[in-house]
Structures are given as structure tokens and as C-alpha cells.
């Protein structure tokens, strides 16, 4: 089996009145990746790694990237119900869900509603809860440079990311993604005050994966998830900020593939 960037073609699917855009490549057990608030652009090395062993599906959330904003999108719960419909539309069973940041929050909201199509859930530095006495980084007030600097432990990676020009279509997509993130996460800031009450409903194996040096959603939030999700296990990647799949790809892939194989 060979997975290449060319194999990860854009596909479109009409779900709940939204024409969602997604990439799909590889073969094996299905793995649905739910991206963070600033979306995903291009076919990245971590996607290639996961598509080598899985049927990898990477949608743009409704309102992000190449998926238009639907009229019904008001909050994070709408995205949770959308992804239940998305899995139904694709006819997927025993799906391994990986959610990063905002995507991890969405994954939790899916899980408290219905896990019948899920096999495992991996939450990578998820938003959605608060840790007493610990402040998240405010992505809505910070500059782009400050946010990117805060996202990485290795500042050389942050410098390289900042060196990429943000203009034309890329600028339009960035603004669209920021607007969509604000629409579902502005108030209260990236937090569902009711989520903690229902995390005990998640009845599939869960891995909570965090970068030790995360300044966007600090590591202290990990306990808030593992203490409320039955049987959830935690893993911490050293020398790593908010984006393990980029900053520490080998460690990220090792933790994820080992967990998914056991699940």
C-alpha cells in the first residue's frame, strides 16, 4: 500500500446542508482527524505518516478552509452533531478519532453524545474545559506572531512558520478560520461549562496526549480530562508545545499508533 500527497485528493460531501471538503488517503482502519481552530493547509508530513497505516480522513470543519459556513452553525454542539452525521454519511464503523485543540473539544462533544461508530479517541491538547487557577492563552486577543510563538517550544519552528507569507487566498482562509473559531469559542473562551458533567459518558478507550511545554492550553488541563473520562490514559511529550504532530512527529506517531493498535 502506498500513500502519496497526490492520493490525498480533495473530496466533497453534502451533509446536513453543508458541502464539506475533506482529504482522504491511505488504507486500513479509518482514522478521522479533527483539526484545531486555525485549520489545516496542504498535505503535511504527519498526515503522510498516519496514512501509511490508516484510512486517514481530514475534513475542513463547516465554516473553515474549503467548507462553507452553514447557516446552522452557532456553537460547538452543532459541530458535534454534524460529525455524527458525517460518520453516518460515509458509513464508517470503528473509527479512530483524533482531535487536536478545538478538534479535541469537538471529539469530546461527539463522544458524550454517541460513541457507537467510534473505536478509540485521542485528544491532543484539547480545549473545552478549565483547570482551576490556570489560564489558557487568549488566541482572540493575541497577535498572529504571539500566537505562533506560544504554539511552539522550539522557537526556530515558530520563526520558520512566521516566515511563510500570509497573503492572497491564504490570508482569506486565515481570516475565515479565525471568524469560525470565534463563532463557536468566543464566549466563554474555548470552554463548555456543561461538558465536564457528561465526559463520563465516553465509553471507548481514550488517550490524552499533551506537549509538556504547551503555552496555548497548558498541561495542567490534562488532569481535567483524564479524571473525568473513565479509563482515560495520559501521555506527555517532552520538549513540545501545542502542536505535537509537527514539533515532535516521531513521538506523536509512536504514542498514537501504539494506542490505536491496542484499541
Query: What does the pLDDT look like over 141-177, one tens digit per residue?
Result: 999 999 999 999 999 999 999 999 899 999 999 999 9
Strands (E), 177-245: 206-211, 233-237
- Which pLDDT score is estimated for 41? 86
| Span 14-43, pLDDT tens digits | 999 999 999 999 999 999 999 999 999 889
| Span 206-263, pLDDT tens digits | 999 999 999 999 999 999 999 999 999 999 999 999 999 999 999 999 999 999 999 7
| Domain CATH for 86 | 3.40.50.1820
Strands (E), the chain: 10-15, 18-25, 30-34, 55-59, 95-100, 118-124, 206-211, 233-237
- Which pLDDT score is estimated for 3? 42
What is the percentage of the chain residues whose pLDDT exceeds 90? 94
- Which pLDDT score is estimated for 8? 81
- Which pLDDT score is estimated for 241? 98
Whether residue 55 is predicted with pLDDT greater than 70 in this model: the reply is: yes
Rounded Cα distance, 183 and 165, in Å: 26
Omega before 117 cis (within 30°)?
no
Q: pTM of the prediction?
A: 0.96
- Collect all residues with Cβ–Cβ distance below 8 Å to 262 and sequence separation of at least 6: 205
Rounded Cα distance, 33 and 200, in Å: 22
Residue 213 and residue 242 in contact, taking contact as beta carbons nearer than 8 Å: no
Phi, psi of 113 (to 5 degrees): -95, -45
- Which pLDDT score is estimated for 46? 97
- Which pLDDT score is estimated for 2? 38
Whether residue 84 is predicted with pLDDT greater than 60 in this model: the reply is: yes
- Which pLDDT score is estimated for 7? 56
The CA angle 26-29-33, to the nearest 5 degrees, is 70
pLDDT tier, 50 (very low <50, low <70, confident <90, very high otherwise) = very high
* Domains of the chain: total: 1
- For residues 147-160, one letter each, b for 16 or more C-beta atoms within 10 angstroms of the residue's C-beta and e for the rest, the string is bbbbbbbeeebbee
- Collect all residues with Cβ–Cβ distance below 8 Å to 143 and sequence separation of at least 6: none
Q: For residue 91, is it left (φ>0), alpha (ψ between -120 and 50) or beta? A: left
- Which pLDDT score is estimated for 42? 87
What is the average pLDDT score of the chain? 95
Whether residue 5 is predicted with pLDDT greater than 70 in this model: the reply is: no
Rounded Cα distance, 114 and 160, in Å: 40
Whether residue 85 is predicted with pLDDT greater than 90 in this model: the reply is: yes
Domain range for 191 is: 5-262
Helix, strand, coil tally for the chain in percent (to 5): 40, 20, 40
- Which pLDDT score is estimated for 163? 95
- Nearest of 50, 46, 43 to residue 26 by alpha carbon: 50
Amino acid at each position: 500500500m502506498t500513500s502519496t500527497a497526490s492520493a490525498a485528493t480533495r473530496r466533497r460531501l453534502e451533509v446536513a446542508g453543508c458541502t464539506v471538503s475533506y482529504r482522504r488517503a491511505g488504507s486500513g482502519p479509518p482514522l478521522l482527524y479533527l483539526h484545531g481552530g486555525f485549520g489545516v493547509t496542504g498535505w503535511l508530513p504527519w498526515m503522510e505518516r498516519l496514512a501509511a497505516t490508516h484510512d486517514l480522513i481530514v475534513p475542513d470543519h463547516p465554516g473553515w478552509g474549503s467548507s462553507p459556513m452553514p447557516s446552522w452553525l452557532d456553537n460547538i454542539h452543532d459541530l458535534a452533531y454534524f460529525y455524527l452525521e458525517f460518520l453516518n454519511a460515509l458509513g464508517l464503523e470503528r473509527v479512530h478519532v483524533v482531535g487536536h485543540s478545538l478538534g479535541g473539544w469537538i471529539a469530546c462533544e461527539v463522544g458524550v453524545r454517541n460513541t457507537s461508530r467510534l473505536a478509540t479517541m485521542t485528544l491532543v491538547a484539547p480545549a473545552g474545559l478549565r483547570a482551576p487557577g490556570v489560564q489558557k492563552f487568549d488566541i482572540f486577543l493575541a497577535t498572529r506572531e504571539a500566537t505562533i510563538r506560544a504554539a511552539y517550544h522550539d522557537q526556530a519552528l515558530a520563526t520558520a512558520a512566521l516566515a511563510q507569507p500570509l497573503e492572497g487566498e491564504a490570508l482569506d482562509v486565515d481570516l475565515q478560520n479565525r471568524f469560525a473559531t470565534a463563532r463557536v469559542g468566543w464566549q466563554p473562551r474555548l470552554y463548555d461549562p456543561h461538558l465536564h458533567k457528561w465526559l463520563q459518558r465516553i465509553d471507548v478507550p481514550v488517550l490524552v496526549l499533551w506537549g509538556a511545554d504547551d503555552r496555548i492550553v497548558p498541561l495542567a488541563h490534562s488532569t481535567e480530562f483524564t479524571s473525568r473520562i473513565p479509563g482515560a490514559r495520559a501521555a506527555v511529550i517532552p520538549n513540545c508545545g501545542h502542536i505535537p504532530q509537527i514539533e515532535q512527529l516521531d513521538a506523536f506517531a509512536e504514542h498514537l499508533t501504539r494506542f490505536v493498535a491496542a484499541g
